[in-house]
Structure 1
């Protein structure tokens, strides 16, 4: 039986286990993926802790498999799936977790993997890079404008800085002092996080900030908002909609389609986006991979690689 890394109830790391599961069967509009790599994201441990996405009301059926993005080879097609064939190399968002030897993906949020793109890098794109792409595109800033990215040292933030640069924008990135070299290597001006953030930004951005992409929320979001004269150019993936709407901004509107996946894949292939995979773990060490992200020490992206 195939293996998967799961959580058996809501709680902490003590709820996690590597178990054998039945091989999933794709339903209508789904495809079964033989997983080669899975990206690790903060939302993975947040879901284990009990976070429920807006609109979710059904009681969970434990155990639940970790992981929201994966890359691999199509093993089986569900009814009504067009444009894919068994053996295709693809990547996308998962229906039922990616920390596994097999995962289900909805065809609408699955894209063909370019041959030049590794499974490892492809597995990082559906959550972090796609979220970054959606937010930068939503800001709709003209080339030459300056965007402030908070949380610029993380997976979404580092992708947002690079995508902003690919769109012809100047980037200012807020991150801890320990991530200064990393943020500057992305082509952004680094601003250390901490109190009096707005004053430090103003000191280096003499022409002002034209847009803010927030990935932190809280006081950071509130202070970053004061840098804008047009609050419609404030978007966040780090705070709930009511919080940012009080500041005059909006949540990131996720496209969640294959078009965005194709776009970010081409940015990687062209060399304009580096997923910055800093560490990989085999499936039987998935817990270690998740701890790296949950502890907040990860720089760039962490990936679980599954043997073929």
Structure 2
């Protein structure tokens, strides 16, 4: 039987387990994908802790799959899943699966993987890459403007800095001192995070893309004369509103995924996958992200489908 990394109840790392599961069967408008790579994101451990996405309702069924973005090869096509065929190389956000050997994806939020994009890199785009792109586009800053990105050394931050640069923006990236070289290698001005960080920001900023939330979001808002030019993927909708800004509005379509992939391939952008882990070490991969030690993106590569 295929394997999947799941959480068996809400709680901490002790609630996680690698188990055998039934191979999923695609329903209408779905494709079954043999997972080649799965991106690791903060939302994964937050969901395990009990976080509910906006619009989530009802009781969560356990065991619950972990993982929110995958790439792989189409193994089965459900009824009405137009535009996809057996053997297609694709990426998207799973409705079943994630850190697993097989996953179900809906055709509405799945895209063909460009030949110039590896499975590992493609697995970083449905959540990290697309969230970065959605936020930068939402700010709608003119070329030459300055955008400040908090959490610039993480998976979404690395993508946001590069996308902003590709769109002609000057970028100031807030991250730990340990991530200074990474942030500067992306073409951003590095500002060390920590107490008093706003005083270290050089000059005025025209927009803020917050990926941290909490007090960092509140402090970042003080740097803007126009707080409508603040978006956050790190803070709650209420916190965003209190700060005068807004949550990032996700565009969950296949066309948006294709647009992001084309930008990375055509623009030579790099998701900066710094570590990969086999499925039986998924917990270790998640701890790296959960404890804030990740530089760039962490990806799980199920060994069964890695060939």
Question: Which TM-score bucket, shorter chain as reference?
Answer: over 0.9
Deviation at 1:271, TM superposition (A): 4.3
Determine the structure 1 residue equivalent to 2:93. 93
- Aligned residue number for residue 23 of structure 2: 23
Question: Does the CA contact (< 8 Å) of 2:218 and 2:243 recur in 1?
Answer: yes
Contact 1:40 1:67 in 2 (8 A): yes
Offset at 1:40? 0.6
Q: Does 1:241 align with 2:237?
A: yes
Separation (CA, whole Å) in 2 of partners of 1:77 and 1:130: 25
Which residue number in structure 2 is paired with residue 177 of structure 1? 177
| CA drift at 1:272 | 3.5
Cα distance between partner residues in 2 of 1:284 and 1:221: 36
Is 1:263 the equivalent of 2:259?
Answer: yes
User: How many pairs were matched up?
Assistant: 304
Q: Distance in 1 between matches of 2:216 and 2:64?
A: 33
Say which SS state the counterpart of residue 107 (structure 1) adopts: strand
In structure 2, the partner of 1:210 is 206
Q: What is the correspondence of 1:154-233 to structure 2 with a 5 Å cutoff?
A: 154-201=154-201, 204-205=202-203, 208-233=204-229
- The answer for the alignment partner of 2:75 in structure 1 is 75
User: 219-228 vs 184-193, which deviates more?
Assistant: 219-228
Gaps of 5+ in 2: none
Across the aligned residues of Structure 1 and Structure 2, the Cα RMSD in angstroms comes to: 1.0
Alpha-carbon distance in 2 for matches of 1:89, 1:59: 34
Alpha-carbon separation, structure 1, partners of 2:24 and 2:73? 14
Could you tell me how far apart the structure 1 residues matched to 2:148 and 2:268 are?
19
The residue that corresponds to 1:10 in the other structure is 10
Q: Does 1:63 align with 2:59?
A: no
Determine the structure 2 residue equivalent to 1:301: 297
TM-score by length of 2: 0.97
Q: How big is the shift at 1:129?
A: 0.7
Aligned to 2:271: 275
Distance in 2 (CA, whole Å) between partners of 1:97 and 1:229 is 44
Q: Distance in 2 between matches of 1:225 and 1:290?
A: 30
- Report the alpha carbon displacement of residue 80 of structure 1 after superposing the two structures with TM: 1.3
The CA distance in 2 between the partners of 1:263 and 1:149, in whole Å, is 22
Q: Secondary structure at the match of 2:178?
A: helix
Corresponding position of 1:130: 130
- 1:165 alignment partner, SS class: helix
In 2: Cα distance, 1:239 partner to 1:183 partner: 22
- Distance apart, 1:61 and its partner CA: 1.3
How far apart in 2 are the matches of 1:16 and 1:278? 23
- Tell me if structure 2 keeps the 8 A contact 1:73–1:90: yes
